[in-house]
Amino acid sequence: MGLGGCIILIAAGAILTFATDWDMEGVNLDLVGIILMIVGLIGVTTFSSIARRRRVVVPPSTPVIDEEPHHSRRDGYSDGYGV
């Protein structure tokens, strides 16, 4: 679940908790809304910690430049069979 899904969970939970007056037998919509908001907040914190770890940039190591080509000759044959 991405950041957008977490925000949708938080919004849906807030709507169920604070903006509805529905009564369902056997279901406490306020509690369901609070649970959805908590799950959304856990998702946001998890997503942000993973994104923070991905942003860590390791500087590239210094490239090694080889001044002499390996076993290559002037005519382009490197296996020794060319004339």
pLDDT for residue 31: 94
pLDDT for residue 66: 62
Q: Where are the domains of the chain?
A: 3-53
Instruction: Quickly count: other Cβ atoms within 10 Å of residue 19's Cβ.
Output: 8
> Rounded to a whole number, what is the distance in angstroms from the first to the last CA of the chain?
62
Whole-prediction pTM: 0.61
Round to whole Å and give the CA distance between 35 and 21.
Answer: 17
Taking the CA atoms of residue 73, residue 74, residue 76 and residue 78 in that order, the dihedral angle to the nearest 10 degrees is 0
pLDDT in tens, the chain (83 residues): 788 999 999 999 999 999 988 888 999 999 999 999 999 999 999 998 888 777 656 666 777 666 665 555 555 556 656 55
